[in-house]
Amino acid sequence: MDVEPEALHITPARLSALSDGVIAIAATLLILDLKAPAAGQPVWRTLGHQWPALDTYAVTFLVIGIAWIHHHNLFHQVRQVDRTLLLLNIGMLATISFLPLPTATLGSHLRGIGATSAAVLYALSMTASALWFTLFWNHLCRHPELLHPGAREQARAARRKSLLGPAGYALAALLALVSPMGSLALCAALVAYFVIGRRAPPTRT
Amino acid sequence: MDVEPEALHITPARLSALSDGVIAIAATLLILDLKAPAAGQPVWRTLGHQWPALDTYAVTFLVIGIAWIHHHNLFHQVRQVDRTLLLLNIGMLATISFLPLPTATLGSHLRGIGATSAAVLYALSMTASALWFTLFWNHLCRHPELLHPGAREQARAARRKSLLGPAGYALAALLALVSPMGSLALCAALVAYFVIGRRAPPTRT
Amino acid sequence: MDVEPEALHITPARLSALSDGVIAIAATLLILDLKAPAAGQPVWRTLGHQWPALDTYAVTFLVIGIAWIHHHNLFHQVRQVDRTLLLLNIGMLATISFLPLPTATLGSHLRGIGATSAAVLYALSMTASALWFTLFWNHLCRHPELLHPGAREQARAARRKSLLGPAGYALAALLALVSPMGSLALCAALVAYFVIGRRAPPTRT
Amino acid sequence: MDVEPEALHITPARLSALSDGVIAIAATLLILDLKAPAAGQPVWRTLGHQWPALDTYAVTFLVIGIAWIHHHNLFHQVRQVDRTLLLLNIGMLATISFLPLPTATLGSHLRGIGATSAAVLYALSMTASALWFTLFWNHLCRHPELLHPGAREQARAARRKSLLGPAGYALAALLALVSPMGSLALCAALVAYFVIGRRAPPTRT
């Protein structure tokens, strides 16, 4: 009853589709940590007190959105799934599913005495999420037979670029020791950079 | 690790399918804000006290249902996804995922002193949800190369019609300042109109 | 921005797949209404006190499972989706998504003074869920052009059989006035009947 | 309105895809039982107190991940779905959907006086989850006409191997009577074994 990739018949498209399900659910569950003002509570002031939670909600939502895009992009290059890819994928999904917890923690602590700890936890969770992509690309660069023929050059470039995420978020974890708010701002800046992206040189039309 | 649409290979069908996942989950999570009568509470009276929550549940469920239909319809016309469509889509999904919060807020405040604020928040959230479609169609009209050849005329008509939603909901936000209940009624009327629709002239058979 | 079925391009397969998403989520969310014994509470006794909740969980899970099978079966016969089918489908999904609430209510009231009300609410919700299928088949029998050519005879038989569900559950709602426990037992019996089924005459091989 | 497999047109691929939805949601809902440290609570110490919950979260997430892989693998061998497979599948999904409850129970009781009961409940739930696969393979071995022609030999091997899961988890349930912590450790060891797997003899290239 062990997992034999040769016998699994899990195609990259299938693995990608299933992972998408987990990612979509994790993103949507984030809202459950935002508490709607209860009957009798002033609406705007209660929401205003939650702005750190709204901020971290937005940042985490975008982080998960970017993870989804990278994940989709990665598995588009993959020709065959092996056991290691399967394990890395389970690890990545577990990390993504875990993100609502540090998000809620930072949301409720950003303006209190636990702000430093919460910001460190948050940035480290982001680092962990991003690190899986480096591990993915590293494995694919070492086993190019898993890639589509034309994707090997791209994989090396993707591995190089995939270091920016973990490095940036790890820096945010360090920054959290000095300024929790600055750490969240750096995470937001990294997310904005990934969303808006660099102007890529026109390689294809 | 930035997002290059040329390299993304995200087809409209795929983006549509993934968005459907988020939309379906957001719709289903709405029920979590309705509290089942606890042991010892009278069943019908407790539910009766929640009728504003039941009303807003029904309205938001239909709003999300309509957003799903529009989203599906829109991406059916799209031939190629570019970076802007991707960003607009992430924004729209974040807005849809956020709807349970204003829904729960209005549900619990509609009969209390916070009714005005809650109804304004609710109608503004609806306005924001509907506005994305205007932004989508506007971008597609300016970049007709992203559309299927036959869809350009339809896109201009869709852009024109897509203004009704945000305008109507913004009016509901204004109306909320005078009558919160009237504002919810206007939202419900807009939803009913979108669901039942105008009698379209028979353009095709 | 109104819904024009001719312009919607929503195929039966697509509508079926999307509905499956909502149905799967509704089924899985049921577990959230079962409370795990908290730290310090005796495990088995706390669960034992919840047996009505466990029972209703099981019955509702099966009801949703059967609704899924019927829904799938129904849309397999459909060749084209019109506006009415779309509206009926939204109504059915809203009803299914609503089921966690009566389920939790019955689970927490079955052994208390609110048992009658809770059982009536539960059986009426089941009736409503089942009734959509009668409405679906009725519409399809009146508009056979929406069906695949060979499916017209089957649709008339399905309409006839689809009356059993609402009738049975409505009977359970009446029975609840006398015996809440008997009402749940009748619902369970109906579910078991639908799951296990009659021995169908061998019409095809 | 009964379920006639001949009339159901449910293909193995479709049943597999739908089950994946339920499985993905169950895995993602696990996070809801981990409580983020509230405002004012010390972040690390509160999380530290939750380490049993974090442990059981990780183990259950992996168990569900493995169940998904086995389920996918199983239905890949199936050529035709009959009524029994459908019933077994509903049972398996109900069991998987139920796992968040014993997981949360063990997470909150592992260090208290209810540890034994909670660990027995947890290991028995795992046993039940794993047992469905034995029942699946057993049915398929008795009805080889439901399998793809080349899969009959594999099915017999899979049935043999599928006994390891239930047997191991049942042993963990017994062990829980002596050592709850040891029982969780055994579950974790079984999961690790299934994830990492035996070195399979190279049967194909």
Q: Which of B62-66, C17-21, D150-154, D161-165 has the highest mean pLDDT?
A: D161-165
- Residues D1-20: pLDDT tens digits? 344 444 456 778 778 777 88
Nearest CA in chain A to D160: A1
The DSSP output letter for D147 is B
Q: Look at residue D203 and tell me whether its pLDDT is greater than 90.
A: no
Q: Is the pLDDT of residue D201 over 50?
A: no
CB C143 within 8 A of CB C82: yes
Q: What φ, ψ does residue C197 adopt, rounded to 5°?
A: 80, 160
Is A85 near chain B, with CB under 8 Å? no
Three-state SS for A78?
strand
Q: In 3D, which of C96, C178, C120, A38 has the Cα closest to residue B44?
A: C120
Touching check for A91 and chain D: CB below 8 Å? no
Indicate if the pLDDT at residue D200 is higher than 50.
no
Asked if B1 and A34 come within 8 Å (Cβ–Cβ), the reply is no
User: Average pLDDT in the C60-70 region?
Assistant: 87
pLDDT digits (tens, 9 = 90+) for A151-199: 888 899 999 999 999 999 999 999 999 999 999 999 999 988 887 765 4
Res A197: pLDDT: 64
pLDDT of residue C56: 86
| CA quadruple C162, C166, C172, C175: dihedral, nearest 10 | -120
Residues C176-187, mean pLDDT to the nearest whole number: 94
pLDDT higher than 80, residue A18? no
> Most distant CA pair in chain C: distance in Å?
63
User: Quick one: pLDDT band at residue A43, thresholds 50, 70, 90?
Assistant: confident
pLDDT of residue B9: 64
The single-letter DSSP state of residue B78 is B
Q: Give CA–CA dist C5/C116, Å, rounded.
A: 43
Residue B179 in this model has a pLDDT that exceeds 70: yes
What is residue B110's DSSP assignment? Answer: T
Q: Give the pLDDT confidence of C138-176 residue by residue, as tens digits.
A: 999 999 999 998 888 889 999 999 999 999 999 999 999
Nearest CA in chain A to B28: A28
CA distances from C160 to A91, A157, C133, C136, C139 (A): 50, 63, 11, 12, 13
Confidence band of D29 (pLDDT split at 50, 70, 90)? confident
Q: Which is more confident, C33 or A97?
A: A97
The residue-averaged pLDDT of D90-109 equals 90
* 8 Å CB contact between C104 and C53: yes
The model's pLDDT over C77-95, given as tens digits with 9 standing for 90+, comes to 899 888 889 889 988 998 9
CB contact under 8 A, A72 and B14: yes
pLDDT, mean over chain D: 84
- The two tokens of residue A79 are 């020709």
Q: What is the mean pLDDT of residues A117-125?
A: 94
Query: What are chain C's partners, defined as 3 or more CB pairs within 8 angstroms?
Result: B, D
Tell me, what's the pLDDT at B4?
45
User: Given this model, what pLDDT does residue A4 score?
Assistant: 46
Mean pLDDT of B135-164: 92
Among candidate residues A33, C34, C31, C41, the one with its CA nearest the CA of residue D108: C41
The alpha carbon of residue A176 is apart from the nearest alpha carbon of chain B, in Å, by 24
Q: What is the DSSP letter of A3?
A: -
pLDDT band at residue A203 using 50, 70 and 90 as cut-offs: very low
* Tokens 């109306």, residue located: B175
Asked if C19 and C93 touch (Cβ cutoff 8 Å), the reply is yes
B191: exposed, middle or buried (Cβ count in 10 Å: 0-12, 13-18, 19+): buried
Q: Which residue type, as a one-letter code, is found at position D131?
A: L
State residue B197's pLDDT score.
Answer: 64
Taking contacts as CB-CB distances below 8 angstroms, the residues of chain A near B114 are: 37, 39-43
Look at B111 and B1; give whichever has higher pLDDT: B111
Q: What is the mean pLDDT of residues D76-87?
A: 87
* Cα–Cα distance for residue pair B154/B164, rounded to 1 Å: 16
Interface test with C, best of B29, B43, B59 (most C CBs within 10 A): B43
Task: Using a CB–CB cutoff of 8 Å, tell me whether D161 touches chain A.
Answer: yes
Nearest to C59 by CA among C95, C19, C117, C107: C107
pLDDT for D26 beyond 80: yes
Band of residue B205 on the pLDDT scale cut at 50, 70, 90: very low
The pLDDT of A46-51, averaged and rounded, is: 83
Residue B39, pLDDT > 70, answer: yes
Q: Do C20 and D18 touch (CB under 8 A)?
A: yes
Average pLDDT over residues A118-140: 95
Query: Which tokens in the block code for residue C195?
Result: 């799951």
Task: State the pLDDT at residue D204.
Answer: 38
Rounded distance, CA C137 to CA A19, Å? 36
Q: Which of A114-128, A188-202, B21-35, B85-99 has the highest mean pLDDT?
A: A114-128
- Reported as a single tens digit per residue, the pLDDT across D83-96 is 889 889 988 998 99
Q: Which of the pair, C116 or B20, is modelled with greater confidence?
A: C116
Indicate the DSSP class of residue C36: P
The answer to whether A192 faces chain B, any CB pair under 8 Å, is: no
Which phi and psi (to 5°) does residue B78 adopt? -85, 135
**D113-127 pLDDT, tens per residue?**
889 999 999 999 999
Q: Please give the span between the terminal C-alpha atoms of chain B, in angstroms, as a whole number.
A: 48
Q: Which 8-state DSSP code applies to residue B114? A: T
Q: Is the pLDDT of residue D195 over 80?
A: no
Q: Do A9 and D73 touch (CB under 8 A)?
A: yes
Amino acid identity for residue C45 in this structure: R
pLDDT band of C197, cuts 50, 70, 90 = low
Interchain CB distance below 8 Å, A24 and B29:
no
pLDDT class of C135 with cuts at 50, 70, 90: very high
Task: Let me know: does A140 contact A81? Beta carbons within 8 Å.
Answer: no
- Please report the number of interchain residue pairs, chain B to chain C, with beta-carbon separation below 8 angstroms: 112
Mutate to test the interface with D, among C28, C59, C190, C203 (most CBs of D within 10 A): C28
